[in-house]
Structure 1
Amino acid sequence: MDDHQAWRPTEIDPATAGVAASPEGLVDHLSALPDLAALLSAEKALVFRGFQVTEETLDQVMDQLLPNRLAYVHGNSPRTKVGKNVYTSTEYPPEFTISMHNELSYAHQWPARLMFFCAKAAETGGATPVVDGVRWLAALDPEVRAAYAHGVRYTQNLHDGFGFGKSWQETFETSDRDEVEAFLGSTKASWEWKPDGGLRVTQDRPSTTRHPVTGVEVWFNQSDQWHPAALGDDTAKSLAEVLPVDELPQSVSFADGSPIPDEYVIQVRDRGLASAVNVDWRQGDVLLIDNVLVGHGRRPFTGRRRVLVAMSD
């Protein structure tokens, strides 16, 4: 079994760190690390457990883990801002699985690090699965990898306050069209304002990328999450009855505009999930991942669950 097959996140607790079982102990441990960036590149994901972190003490931990906290601008998933560039994790109904993905991999720039914090664990389920991007890429059939070789094209239809999906104001955290255009102008995206006040954004992006430190090639796109086939037969059928493909809140094709076969995105989704390992939450846990090397998702759950997320470059 190679390293990618055997990989799991590295767990750090007060005993292994040699510090007090408190948020201050975790801060002391992180402050003493000679190079957190190198450690994260080597281990890919770190779970800090048993430090009794709370929402009230989270900021001091984030100051160590995320030196330049970023806003979730141009994000496509529903979430609520609860602090300074701190958000709830994706707010999809608890009975659904969220498939594996790298945050903002469809964007021109993406965060280098993601941090998750468990304020309240679910009664059952609710794990955050994480997947080694090298393993995910290797799990795909050669035919699928070859078909994706020239990249993918993402299309967003963002409404003006009423409609399916997210509004452009919510997506870009502004109601100023000039700010939106200035942002998009720096991203190599194309866009158009629609007569109804909505905004259509189109972006061509690669399907894989290489890590800037390790150089490994990883699967790095969200085609399965943007493709109707991966939503389930009933949901896809219902959407198709209401909207044509080019009017869906989000859609994807190959970069040349040709359609991605349903079976390809289903394979991408299912093999990503099958290759993942679960981080089972306990209250107060903190998970830090390298957003290029590791994809993440969510398992279904019951009861109340509160997991917060923040990111940095």
Structure 2
Amino acid sequence: MTLDVTDSGPDAGPDAGSRAGAWRPYEITPDAAGTADLVGWLDRTGARALTESLIEHKALVFRDFGVTPDTVDPVFARLVPDRLPYVHGNSPRTKVGGNLYTSTEYPQQYTISLHNELSYAHRWPTRLAFYCETAAESGGATPVLDGELWLASLDARVREAFADGIRYVQNLHDGLGFGKSWQDTFETDDRAAVEAFLRASRAEWEWNEEGLRVVQQRPATTRHPVTGAEVWFNQADQWHPAGLGDEASAELYDILAPEEFPQYVTFADGSAIPDAYIEQILGRGLDGAVDVDWRSGDVLLIDNVLLAHGRRPFTGSRRVLVAMSDT
């Protein structure tokens, strides 16, 4: 089922068509919807039609509806009902409301590579909603990429190397150290609650003098529960030192052994993933992505399995909020 709106996809970003074929996020405006009342329109559209359209289009951009920080909550209540906490998340962000977070606080001069939220975890949100409160002075687009196309873009030898899955390692400090603490990661200081979460996640863990060490075995791909599409679905490139760039990677190697890094990744058998594989995954992901160029007030809804997302570098102030749901 398709929503009764027009696709004004050129605003999805420069050269979008040349970088990802004909696909672009599906844009919905007051003119196309026939009303400036986004909440009312979502209510009339209904949750089922919205879900069907999201699966069909993979991403929906709501633009020019005048969404403000004071009116975003009822919009998110329709787009991502029963919002999830960011438990076991590895990105630096701040909780600003009821399971509403800053999208990331990673330094603005760096690119955040393509990824599906919490793809390294036992469970992940099925959809994400982003709200642009303040657009950057320049840059700061959110690139999105069809995970099926990303998988197909990789050399056969790379896909085959990851066929048995991935081993993720986290070393979470107790309040002082590199990366996030285990308290921030799990949004609690209750060790029993953390252990219960990890037990349900089928993860291995151990407490030590520095904090908590977590090891997880996960697949490198998954299939969408409705379409059946197989997608590249992991964060090997973000957890691997080669994904940090030569300078940052060298500094980490000077200080710590790889298995002591705040986060690290290997093949499922514990063998090292070649830097060249990570560089290919990173490069082809970003090269194939379509940029969603933000305007203040924009809302972006994405299917977190079908689409990976990231962030381009930016200048000036930028504030984008995110909420997630498994509905």
Instruction: Please indicate, yes or no, whether the TM-score normalized by the shorter chain is above 0.5.
Output: yes
In structure 2, what is the equivalent of residue 31 of structure 1? Answer: 43
Distance (whole Å) between structure 2 residues aligned to residue 246 and residue 182 of structure 1: 24
- The answer to whether structure 1 residue 188 and structure 2 residue 202 are counterparts is yes
In structure 2, what is the equivalent of residue 6 of structure 1? Answer: 22
**TM-score, with normalisation over the residues of structure 2?**
0.92
In structure 2, what is the equivalent of residue 301 of structure 1? Answer: 314
In structure 2, what is the equivalent of residue 40 of structure 1? Answer: 54
Q: 1:160-171 to 2 correspondence within 5 Å?
A: 160-171=174-185
In structure 2, what is the equivalent of residue 118 of structure 1? Answer: 132
1:5 CA displacement: 3.1
- Describe the superposition over 1:284-310 as per-residue Cα deviations: whole angstroms up to 9, x where unpaired: 000000000000000000000000011
In structure 2, what is the equivalent of residue 157 of structure 1? Answer: 171
Distance (whole Å) between structure 2 residues aligned to residue 55 and residue 268 of structure 1: 36
Amino acid aligned to 1:63: A
On the 8 A contact 1:5/1:135 being kept in 2, the answer is: no
In structure 1, what is the equivalent of residue 5 of structure 2? Answer: none
- Match for 2:79 among 58, 61, 65? 65
1:13 CA displacement: 0.3
- Match for 1:179 among 179, 193, 213? 193
Distance (whole Å) between structure 2 residues aligned to residue 5 and residue 256 of structure 1: 37
In structure 2, what is the equivalent of residue 270 of structure 1? Answer: 283
Q: 1:212-291 to 2 correspondence within 5 Å?
A: 212-291=225-304
**TM-score, with normalisation over the residues of structure 1?**
0.97
1:311 CA displacement: 0.2
In structure 1, what is the equivalent of residue 107 of structure 2? Answer: 93
- Describe the superposition over 1:187-229 as per-residue Cα deviations: whole angstroms up to 9, x where unpaired: 0100000123x00000000000000000000000000000001
In structure 2, what is the equivalent of residue 19 of structure 1? Answer: 35
- Describe the superposition over 1:49-78 as per-residue Cα deviations: whole angstroms up to 9, x where unpaired: 000001111110011001110000000010
- Match for 2:216 among 179, 192, 203? 203
1:140 CA displacement: 0.4
SS of alignment partner, residue 260 of structure 1: coil
Distance (whole Å) between structure 2 residues aligned to residue 203 and residue 54 of structure 1: 39
On the 8 A contact 1:253/1:259 being kept in 2, the answer is: yes
SS of alignment partner, residue 136 of structure 1: helix
Amino acid aligned to 2:42: L
Amino acid aligned to 1:77: S
SS of alignment partner, residue 21 of structure 2: helix
SS of alignment partner, residue 56 of structure 1: coil
Distance (whole Å) between structure 1 residues aligned to residue 144 and residue 273 of structure 2: 25
SS of alignment partner, residue 67 of structure 2: coil
Please list every run of 5 or more consecutive structure 1 residues that lacks an aligned counterpart in the other structure: none
SS of alignment partner, residue 324 of structure 2: strand
On the 8 A contact 1:192/1:199 being kept in 2, the answer is: yes
Distance (whole Å) between structure 1 residues aligned to residue 163 and residue 287 of structure 2: 22
Distance (whole Å) between structure 2 residues aligned to residue 73 and residue 5 of structure 1: 35
Distance (whole Å) between structure 1 residues aligned to residue 303 and residue 102 of structure 2: 19
Report the aligned-residue RMSD.
1.2
Distance (whole Å) between structure 1 residues aligned to residue 209 and residue 102 of structure 2: 33
Amino acid aligned to 1:13: T
On the 8 A contact 1:136/1:271 being kept in 2, the answer is: yes
The percent identity for this pair of structures is 66
